[in-house]
A and B are shown apart, each in its own frame.
Chain A
Amino acid sequence: MIGATLSNPPSEWQYVAAAYLAVFVFVLAWVAIIAAKLQRLQRQLAELVTRARADG
């Protein structure tokens, strides 16, 4: 069944692929945004720890 689907793709195949790809790209972009945010929070926390240590 998989082989038949891949060797003889239906005419709408590209649309189905595009729709599912859009969802995949969205999840990927979201993970990238959250990763960037986590890095920023980590940096800010490190700054605060340094400041707290300096203040004694």
Chain B
Amino acid sequence: MQKTLASNRVAGVALLAVVLMTAAIALIFFYAPTDPDQGFSQRIFYFHVPIALTAYACFGWGAWKALRVLWKRDEEADVQSYVAIHQGVVFGSLTLLTGSIWARASWGVWWTWSENQLVLFLVLFLFYCAYFMLRFSIEPGRQRANMSAVYALFGVVLIPVSFMAIRLSQKFIHPVVFNAHGPQMSGSQFLTFCVSLAAMLALFATLYNVELTGKRLDSHLRDLRELLA
């Protein structure tokens, strides 16, 4: 079993994701205390915020790979950048969905346009959705890789803007948990949050590696078909 996992990184990461996810759910529902201000609905925080941070990590990873496309002329990095951004959009959708449910439970509305944090995240999400329109409107090749990479790098500028928006805003209802004084939560809540974040990052690593393996397999099959033609 140990040898199999060592030789199969995807299986190892997937197993880690399952263990961390199980631990996170157990901590969220049976260990973390109910928040005195927000009540039971605050438990959405333990998935919503790690999912949002994972979406940022996906876009950041996609931008790093995009930089490698332009800098090192690394063709493999183009597929890696595409897969990371694809995962970022998926995690971004989940951020909007879980955030909307939490907003309804806490504020009584599904969405509010007056919150910079929400609007900027939506802008970031739509920006990366448009990445696919650009990518699939160009024939595969060097030009597509370069244009996709430039677009992915432009998008990453929006990440710190989106992250800092709530901290720069003068008027907000969206809670700020992490500020200059550290995390504004109890030790048990912070532990639960850290495990949930690790679980989400492990889930991303699993989905990223599986999707990447699928893309490589597809590419090898295409090559094989051309060789046999």
- Render B71-113 as a binary contact track against A, CB cut-off 8 A, 1 for contact: 0000000000000000000100010011001101100000000
Q: Does B126 contact A (CB under 8 A)?
A: no
Report how far A55 CA is from B25 CA in the complex, Å. 54
Do A22 and B97 touch across chains, with their CB atoms under 8 A apart?
Answer: yes
- Render A1-31 as a binary contact track against B, CB cut-off 8 A, 1 for contact: 1100100001111011011101100110010
Q: Which of the 9-residue segments B40-48, B127-135, B176-184 touches chain A?
A: B40-48
Do B214 and A41 touch across chains, with their CB atoms under 8 A apart?
Answer: yes
Do B224 and A19 touch across chains, with their CB atoms under 8 A apart?
Answer: no
Do B105 and A26 touch across chains, with their CB atoms under 8 A apart?
Answer: no
Q: Which of A12, A27, A45 is the one whose CB lies under 8 Å from B41?
A: A12
A51: chain B residues within 8 A (beta carbon): 228
Do B101 and A22 touch across chains, with their CB atoms under 8 A apart?
Answer: yes
Do B210 and A34 touch across chains, with their CB atoms under 8 A apart?
Answer: yes
Do A41 and B101 touch across chains, with their CB atoms under 8 A apart?
Answer: no
Report how far A23 CA is from B97 CA in the complex, Å. 9
Do B30 and A2 touch across chains, with their CB atoms under 8 A apart?
Answer: yes
Q: Decide: A48 near B41, CB < 8 A? Known: A15-B104, A22-B94, A23-B94.
A: no
Do B225 and A18 touch across chains, with their CB atoms under 8 A apart?
Answer: no
Q: Decide: A41 near B218, CB < 8 A? Known: A48-B225, A48-B228.
A: yes
- Render A24-56 as a binary contact track against B, CB cut-off 8 A, 1 for contact: 001100100010011001001100100110010
Q: In the complex, what residue of chain B is closest to A51 when comparing beta carbons?
A: B228
Report how far A22 CA is from B228 CA in the complex, Å. 44
Q: In the complex, what residue of chain B is closest to A16 when comparing beta carbons?
A: B43
A11: chain B residues within 8 A (beta carbon): 39-40
Q: Which of A10, A19, A38 is the one whose CB lies under 8 Å from B102?
A: A19
Q: In B120-171, which residues have CB < 8 Å from any A CB?
A: none
Q: Which of B40, B98, B203, B214 is the one whose CB lies under 8 Å from A13?
A: B40
Q: In the complex, what residue of chain A is closest to B93 when comparing beta carbons?
A: A26
Report how far A48 CA is from B203 CA in the complex, Å. 33
B195: chain A residues within 8 A (beta carbon): none
A41: chain B residues within 8 A (beta carbon): 214, 217-218, 221
Q: Which 6 A-B pairs have CB atoms at the shortest separation, nearest pair first? A: A12-B41, A15-B105, A10-B40, A19-B101, A19-B44, A19-B98
A-B contact pairs, 7 of them (CB 8 A): A11-B39, A15-B41, A18-B101, A19-B102, A20-B25, A22-B97, A22-B101
